[in-house]
Amino acid sequence: MRRFFALLATLILLAACEPREEPQLMSYGNTDILTLQAKMAMGELDARTLTSYYLDRIEQLDRQGPALNAVIELNPDALAIADTLDQERRNGSVRGLLHGIPVLLKANIDTADKMATSAGSLALQNHYADRDAFIVTSLRAAGAIILGKTNLSEWANFRSNHSSSGWSSLGGQTRNAYDQTRNPCGSSSGSAVAVAAGLVSVAIGTETDGSIVCPASSNGIVGIKPTLGLVSRQGIIPIAHSQDTAGPMGRTVADAAILYSVLMAEDINDTSAPPFPHEKPDVLAAIENASLKGKRIGVWRNYAGANADARVEQILTNSLATLRRQGAVIVDDIQIETQGLRQAEFEVLLYEFKAGLNAYLAKSDATLPDLQTIITYNQQQAGKVMPFFAQETLELAQTKGPLDEQVYLEALHLSKALAQNGIDGAIKAHELDALIAPTGGPAWLTDHVNGDRSSGISSASLAAVAGYPAVTLPAGFIEGLPVGLTFFGAASSDAQLVALAHAYELVSRVRVAPEF
């Protein structure tokens, strides 16, 4: 952190040598956090101006114009919070690199304010938390401004097998930042689109299996899925405690890492999480020392949908060439056995969703106290809640018993063994620093009649089920649509993966902002 502040000081000195001009507000849509902090330190910008800029941009691009529909709700107190933080800065107190930086949260994260925690569901449209989620408390303490909440695939895409990603009964359909006829992927669709479109610098998504990395890939941004347990799940509407995690999304690896450094903290009340490591991964220090030279990177070749799209394979080939030019040692054709993984995982998710949601609702004293009541509500409001697809996933989860049933325990053991042994075995056998694979294919056309019709290309499940970290970032474009590359590895290798992704980003320079 000290080195990052030193870099910030250097930026301030460099900026001081330039002629003073009126700030160009339209540039803030693609301005990184360090530059924003430098401008605020020099008095060229303040948190109120920045917050107002983002609110105006949300009105212009999200509500009107291309109508991205990424933001489900705005915080009515955002400007007042910005004023307080500006006064702190004038008094000589700066809390850190997020001081005065607006952040958007996925709408399944509790905030003890005037915004609902809805998961995009009409059934929870009036559900207001009585306390902040653990990560929200950390964000506020770091000086971040909670600007609003983002739309998502309803119930984090765990309502139907025929859903349209990015659609919720409360928020409607979020649209891809690069082509509004295309799907943003889910379930953290609103967070990804908001960052890609410059509605905010950084946002928070959540992932159970692909819900951070897929929308990040489809919208040309960076997404970090942490090692399970490094980020608290307290105060987040759950799917499955054995896989759920929140994570940062940003336009650059550095921006995502700055946000991640605040999110990462031990929460002794997150009792279902693995033990927090003795030494917290220092993602900021890792970025400062990032290098690809001599790093052994394995190429996972039998991911889901491998070789289904020659254009995706060409992007991977180009990425490998970039890595080699920077001195990385490429170990190709890594094969990892995954047969039976997805079936076992789905069984686990059904059991854990019912148990976790019922516990969350009981603890939060929600109007609708359990899963069965929500299913009944949806049936009664079918015209509004289910105009395009049903709730067969919710209904299937309701049939499951307690978490001591043998079917659940066997599925949990099998899925974890396949995923963790697959990654750990490949890393050990080939002495790897990380594995890579394409994150997914280009965004598909949104189709409310047939549901998602993706290419089937995805490398997300292995790290997701294992509870291991993954970092995705832009690797190329297909017909103007972004495609991401994912770095993933062993448990608690988050800092190393972030460093590798940052080093790759510096030399690849792939991302191009969407035009509106």
Kindly list the catalytic residues.
106, 187, 211
Residue 476's DSSP bridge partners are 483
| CB-CB contact of 96 with 142 (8 Å) | yes
Sheet holding 296-300, edge to edge: 71-74, 145-150, 102-106, 202-207, 245-250, 222-225, 470-478, 481-488, 434-438, 296-300, 329-334
| CB-CB contact of 145 with 51 (8 Å) | yes
DSSP category for residue 60: I
**Closest alpha carbon to 195 in 61, 77, 34, 98:** 61
- CA terminus-to-terminus distance, the chain: 36
How far apart CA 192 and CA 473 sit, in angstroms, is 12
| CB-CB contact of 162 with 89 (8 Å) | no
For residue 342, give both structure tokens: 């997805």
**Closest alpha carbon to 148 in 177, 123, 111:** 111
**Closest alpha carbon to 104 in 224, 213, 188:** 188
Residue entry with tokens 């994912």: 486
How far apart CA 458 and CA 208 sit, in angstroms, is 14
